[in-house]
Amino acid sequence: MGVNKIVKPQLKMKDNSTFIKEKIEKIKREVGKVIVGQEEMIEGIIIALLSDGHILLEGYPGLGKTVTVKTIACILDAKFQRVQFTPDLIPGDITGFEMWDPESRKSRIQKGPVFTNLLLADEINRAPAKVQSALLEAMQEKQVTIGRETYHLERLFLVLATQNPIEISGTYLLPEAEIDRFMFKLKVCYPSYGDEREITERQIRDEEIDLNVVLSQKELLSLRHTIAEWLPLHEESAIVKYTTRLVRATRPEESNGELRNLVMYGASPRASIALAKASRVYAFIHGEDMVLPDHVHKMAYPVLRHRIILTHEAESQGIDSDAIIDKILHRVPLLE
């Protein structure tokens, strides 16, 4: 089964919520032509796109992570690059390098795969820290330095990195500084029986699929501003205060001793920003005209789970970061 052709729409941007919600549903339907199930992963990617955030996808091989990213790139008519991370990768393989051109007798820049819209960093934990760190500047500043020159990346730039949760041999732990650059960590689970049967039936039929471009890059960037204007969050907002208190509660020194033996490090202020932005987009695409605590709770898990560094004691007790988030959501009051 493959993608046969891309059909570009003749659209005119309408600055209203109905238009945006229709577009979100169309994106989900187009992705559903290729991907069966995995609604949480698909919605998480859409929220990250509208929030300008990067994603860490964790799941076993063969669950459709790569195909999903390629499909969304087609639907947005966006450039897509994939890098398979391996132990022998060097930073220049990601960012690009300066090379000597013997014909012109001048050096020239060979840009790397990071110069794209959607970058899939496949099995990112298979490359050493030096290579992983090559993404830091690109993810945070949307620019890279090659030689003595700095080059800006595309306005629409999203890194989606995958890692296998069960393999340890030949892998490297992601440094905390890089993990914090990811807005979300999404867990990709096995499909249900019905979904898996449909996946098998589709592959057996081996049909070509026509995908429609739902949004242009320009429209997607405009949607970000529209959502921010529709649901403004200012410093005195109750939701901003609540998300900030939740993030601060992940830190052992702020937990009144409850987490001191379970958590080594909590989430940074970057998590406060990510949680507020993601909650706003989640509320909007679900048809709400205000951000509610339930929306914050839904987004707390993908925003915080990779930013909470557990102690050996917590791991020995079988406690994961989602369990810590459960404790925090029950303990932190909605109002001060």
**Which domain, by its residues, includes 270?**
231-331
Out of 175, 191, 218, a domain closes at 218
pLDDT recorded at residue 183 = 92
**Would you place residue 13 in the very low, low, confident or very high pLDDT band (cuts 50, 70, 90)?**
very low
* Residue 301 in this model has a pLDDT that exceeds 60: yes
Strands (E), the chain: 2-7, 54-59, 80-84, 96-101, 106-111, 118-122, 143-146, 149-152, 158-163, 182-188, 208-212, 263-265, 309-310
Query: Which residue, chain included where needed, has tokens 């022998």?
Result: 88
Asked if the model's pLDDT at residue 2 lies above 70, the reply is no
Predicted local distance difference test score (pLDDT) of residue 10: 41
What are the pLDDT digits (tens) for 232-269? 666 668 888 899 999 999 988 776 667 878 888 888 99
Structural domains counted in the chain? 2
- At 74, list the tokens: 């087609």
Reported as a single tens digit per residue, the pLDDT across 306-330 is 998 888 888 888 888 899 999 899 8
* Domain end call among 164, 196, 218: 218
- Distance, in Å, from the CA atom of 282 to the CA atom of 332, rounded to the nearest integer, reads 21
Cβ-contact 120, 66 below 8 angstroms: yes
Statement to judge: residues 51 and 113 lie in one domain? yes
pLDDT (0 to 100) of residue 59 = 82
pLDDT at residue number 274: 93
In which band, very low, low, confident or very high, does the pLDDT at 272 lie, cut at 50, 70 and 90? Answer: very high
87 and 192 in a single domain? The answer is: yes
Q: Are residue 287 and residue 202 in the same domain, yes or no? A: no
Q: What is the CA 271 to chain-centroid distance, rounded?
A: 13
Q: Clarify whether residues 202 and 323 are in a common domain.
A: no
Q: Is residue 168 part of a domain?
A: yes
Within this chain, do residues 198 and 249 fall inside the same structural domain, yes or no?
Answer: no
Q: Which residues contact 31 (CB under 8 A, 6 or more apart)?
A: 42, 68, 71, 72, 75
Lowest mean pLDDT segment, chosen from 55-59, 64-68, 133-137, 318-322: 133-137
pLDDT in tens, 36-45: 888 888 889 9
Q: Quick check: 4 pLDDT over 80?
A: no
Specify the CATH number for the domain of residue 292. 1.10.8.80
184 & 239 share domain? no
pLDDT band for 6, please (50, 70, 90 cuts). very low
**Does residue 209 lie in a domain region?**
yes
166 and 84, same structural domain? Answer: yes
Confidence grade of residue 296 (pLDDT, cut at 50, 70, 90): very high
Task: Output the six-digit token pair for 142.
Answer: 């949307």
* Residue 318: predicted pLDDT: 84
Average pLDDT (171-196) is: 83
Higher pLDDT, 12 or 314: 314
User: Is residue 152 located within the same domain as residue 283?
Assistant: no
159: helix, coil or strand? strand
Region of 96 on the Ramachandran plot (φ > 0 left; ψ -120 to 50 alpha; else beta): left
177 located within any domain = yes
Residue 134 inside a domain? The answer is yes
Q: Are residues 244 and 112 in the same domain?
A: no
Residues 32, 148, single domain; the answer is yes
Q: 88-110: per-residue pLDDT in tens?
A: 888 888 888 877 777 777 777 78
Give percent above pLDDT 90 in the chain: 17
Residue 16 confidence (pLDDT): 53
User: Can you tell me the mean pLDDT for 207-218?
Assistant: 81
CATH of the domain at 108: 3.40.50.300
Statement to judge: residues 42 and 87 lie in one domain = yes
Domain boundary among 186, 218, 250: 218
**Mean pLDDT in residue range 180-189:** 89
C-alpha 223/C-alpha 225 separation (Å) is 5
318 φ/ψ sector (left φ>0, alpha ψ -120 to 50, else beta): left
Q: Are residues 203 and 239 in the same domain?
A: no
Tokens of 32: 């559903």
pLDDT at 181 over 70: yes
CA nearest 258: which of 331, 333, 334, 335? 331
Helix (H) or strand (E) holding 282: helix 269-285
**143-147, 154-158, 166-170 — which one is most confidently predicted on average?**
154-158
